[in-house]
Structure 1
Amino acid sequence: MTDDARPQDPSTPHPLTRDDHLAANRANWNDRAAAHSTRTGLGYGVQRFIDDRALLSDVVSFDRERLGAIEGLTTVHLQCHIGTDTLSLARLGARVTGLDFSPTAIAEARRLVEETGDEVDFVESDVASALSALTPESFDLVYTGIGALCWLPLIAEWAGVVAGLLKPGGRLFLREGHPILWAMDETLDDDLHLRFPYWEHERPLEWDDDASYVPTDRPLTATKTYEWNHGLGEIVTALLDSGLVLTMLVEHDSVPWEALPGQMVERPDGEYALSDRAGVAPLSYTLQAVKPAR
């Protein structure tokens, strides 16, 4: 979430359409992808992955034990952005395809793996169209990294796409910011403040901000974005309703960025945890669900 929130009654009609939201968010992520992929050390620090061909992203490293052995698994990384987590999965031996709705992100991801030598395919598509862009029931593993679900308006639609992509016996592996974190106002640094909806609503939260969540060498120019929260129960129920079986749900006291500035401490692994309010709220979670074998 960004610094200039404009809260509104989530039950009221919204003047913009779903296509309007998608177009605004795509423009913003095109802008972010260009800023995040700089080789100057800012953004995602992508030069590290070029210089060190064994390096894994902090997000993938955090869950490496929970992820388990993935050598040879046909994998799709949904909402892959510029591909640092995606190539990290490939470095663990998976056969990976990254999917993202931003053409700039896909172009930058392809440029990155050309420089690193990692074998990863990338496909431009939004999540809702993934079953058309990819072959259904062709993946052993669907992977989704942190900060992805808030850009999707309907969690049930996402769960149906995940189930449709998985082979029988395949699994979803997800790490995400906790919906209780997304409901907090990070602009207030004197305490934790619940200000925004915890559950999914038709009307998104509107944001207008020229900064990103990592340091960049310039402000963003496409500043309007639209986001939706989804309660943890809604996410689990959507997966169950899509025929998946929940096999793991672990809540964590940290996130991989300073989500609440002024109230967090950085740990050696790059994760950020609450300082004065340590342990009072979950900040992220890891979830795994399996599609039953026929």
Structure 2
Amino acid sequence: MTDNDDKGPARPATDYRTLNRASWDDRAAAHAASPEYAVARFAADPAYLSEVVRFDLPRLGDVTGLRGVHLQCHIGTDTVSLHRLGARMTGLDFSGFSLAQARSLSARTGAAVDFVQADVYDAPDVLDVGGFDLVYTGIGALCWLPDIRRWAEVVATLLRPGGRLFLREGHPMLRAVDETRPDGLLVVEYPYFERTEPMVWEEGGTYVSTDATFTNNTVHEWNHGLGEVVTALLDAGLELTMLCEHDSAPWDSLPGRQARDDHGEWRLTERPWRLPQTYTLQARRR
């Protein structure tokens, strides 16, 4: 497969793509082996869907026969879930190690899904421009991108006229909160709006249960305000058709202050209405 990051002059070792890709490469096997991603259950139960896709089924609607692409698909559990719902899916990710796990999952489950390696900004160079009915992006994708307007242009370029974007993402308000405070206060510590400078993190762990030890632990992230996301999509030629904010997330974003609800999602134990944690957005290309 083609990875356009490897074309042209060599980038410095501190380039955000180099650092972030190394982190995802390092963690792909641990994610595939974790109970949270439930790879074994996918293989054992042909009807099983990822928790992320299952949560949004009432909003997703019928995708039977749609040609879809999952941008930043990681190990492919959401991609395979959309295939099981009847869509003809392609998954794209910049991590070769993640795609190796995705292809393994596809083979184990008999899912006819194509996986392509490329940076998301390079998707129009390796995919069928204007050829997709559905662009899907799942939780934890946009924070790795420095420019939300450029991402929105990629989405618009991939969609056919009338095609739609389906996005569920971590809420920018949650990403602006310091989750490590021992006093339990919800304090806005980090940028809500997109900034040129990344937030640089050194984190040795990951968001799933694992005993694995990782060596690539420096990552660069950006937040994107909800208005920035919507405006970028409007300016790229899409029209907003749905926007729902949720007080829950599929991971424990504030450890020690949350409990799982009936949907298996995590919500604040005390007054969960204080904080939006995720949102689901749909938009259609005009």
Q: With structure 1 as the length reference, what TM-score do the two structures score? A: 0.91
CA positional deviation for 1:270: 1.6
Tell me what 2:127 maps to: 134
Task: Name which of 66, 73, 81 aligns with 1:73.
Answer: 66
Tell me what 1:187 maps to: 180
Partner letter of residue 269 of structure 2?
S
Secondary structure at 1:106's aligned position in 2? helix
Tell me what 2:247 maps to: 253
CA positional deviation for 1:53: 1.2
Rounded Cα–Cα distance in structure 2 between residues aligned with 1:158 and 1:58: 25
Partner letter of residue 69 of structure 2?
V
Matched, 1:92 2:85: yes
Q: Note if contact 2:35-2:209 (Cα within 8 Å) is conserved in structure 1.
A: yes
CA positional deviation for 1:45: 2.5
Secondary structure at 1:279's aligned position in 2? helix
Shift of the 275–120 alpha-carbon distance from structure 1 to 2, 3 Å rule, reads same
1:240-267 C-alpha deviation (Å, 9 max, x unpaired): 0001000000000100000010111111
Secondary structure at 1:98's aligned position in 2? strand
Q: Note if contact 2:37-2:50 (Cα within 8 Å) is conserved in structure 1.
A: no
Task: Name which of 164, 167, 178 aligns with 1:174.
Answer: 167
Matched, 1:267 2:267: no
Task: Name which of 24, 32, 51 aligns with 1:29.
Answer: 24
Moved over 4 A (4+): 16-19
**1:158-169, aligned counterparts within 5 Å?**
158-169=151-162
Q: Note if contact 1:42-1:216 (Cα within 8 Å) is conserved in structure 2.
A: no
Rounded Cα–Cα distance in structure 1 between residues aligned with 2:87 and 2:111: 11
Secondary structure at 1:198's aligned position in 2? coil
Rounded Cα–Cα distance in structure 2 between residues aligned with 1:268 and 1:253: 13
1:97-154 C-alpha deviation (Å, 9 max, x unpaired): 0000000011110011101111111000111100001010000000000010000000
Give the gaps of 5 or more residues in structure 1: 1-15
CA positional deviation for 1:269: 1.9
Give the gaps of 5 or more residues in structure 2: 1-10
1:75-98 C-alpha deviation (Å, 9 max, x unpaired): 000000000000000000000000
Task: Name which of 217, 223, 226 aligns with 2:220.
Answer: 226
Secondary structure at 1:54's aligned position in 2? coil
Q: Note if contact 2:176-2:190 (Cα within 8 Å) is conserved in structure 1.
A: yes
Tell me what 2:8 maps to: none
Q: Note if contact 1:136-1:166 (Cα within 8 Å) is conserved in structure 2.
A: yes
CA positional deviation for 1:281: 1.6
Q: Note if contact 1:43-1:216 (Cα within 8 Å) is conserved in structure 2.
A: no
Tell me what 1:101 maps to: 94
Secondary structure at 1:137's aligned position in 2? coil
Partner letter of residue 201 of structure 2?
W
Q: Note if contact 1:110-1:122 (Cα within 8 Å) is conserved in structure 2.
A: yes
Backbone CA RMSD of aligned residues: 1.4
Partner letter of residue 83 of structure 1?
G
Tell me what 2:202 maps to: 208
Task: Name which of 140, 153, 160 aligns with 1:147.
Answer: 140
Tell me what 2:108 maps to: 115
Identity, in percent, stands at 57
Secondary structure at 2:133's aligned position in 1? strand
Partner letter of residue 17 of structure 2?
L
CA positional deviation for 1:18: 9.8
Q: With structure 2 as the length reference, what TM-score do the two structures score? A: 0.94
Of 215-224 and 177-186, the range deviating more from structure 2: 215-224
Partner letter of residue 132 of structure 2?
F
Indicate the structure whose relative CO is greater, using CA pairs within 8 Å and at least 6 residues apart.
Answer: 1
Secondary structure at 2:91's aligned position in 1? strand
Partner letter of residue 99 of structure 1?
L
